[in-house]
A and B are shown apart, each in its own frame.
Chain A
Amino acid sequence: MRSQYLLPHRCKLPAMLLFAFFFVLGLVQLSGHEFDYPFLYRTVINIAPSNLFQNGIKPDFIQRVNIANTVLGVGFILSALMLGFSAEKHEDEYVSGLRLSALSWALIVNYLLLAAAFLLLYDLSFLSAMTYNLFTVLLLFLARFQYLLYKSRSNLPYEE
Chain B
Amino acid sequence: MKNSIKIERAVAGITQEELAKRIGVSRQTINAMESGKYIPSTVLALKIARVFSKSVESVFSLEERD
Contacts and interface: CB of A to CB of B under 8 A. Distances in A.
A153 B29 CA distance: 10
B29 A92 contact: yes
Contacts of A120: none
A156 B31 contact: yes
A94 B29 contact: yes
A123 interface: no
A92 B43 CA distance: 12
User: Contact size class for A?
Assistant: 10 to 19
A155 interface: yes
B7 interface: no
B60 to A, nearest CB: 15
B17 to A, nearest CB: 7
A9 to B, nearest CB: 12
B13 interface: no
Contacts of B35: 155
B32 interface: yes
Contacts, number: 43
Nearest to A155: B31
B58 interface: no
A95 B44 CA distance: 14
22 contacts: A90-B25, A90-B26, A92-B25, A92-B26, A93-B29, A93-B41, A94-B28, A94-B29, A94-B32, A94-B38, A152-B28, A152-B32, A153-B28, A155-B31, A155-B32, A156-B27, A156-B28, A156-B31, A157-B31, A159-B16, A159-B17, A159-B27
Given A93-B29, A156-B31, 13 more contacts: A90-B29, A92-B24, A93-B25, A93-B41, A94-B28, A94-B32, A94-B38, A153-B28, A155-B28, A157-B31, A159-B16, A159-B27, A160-B15
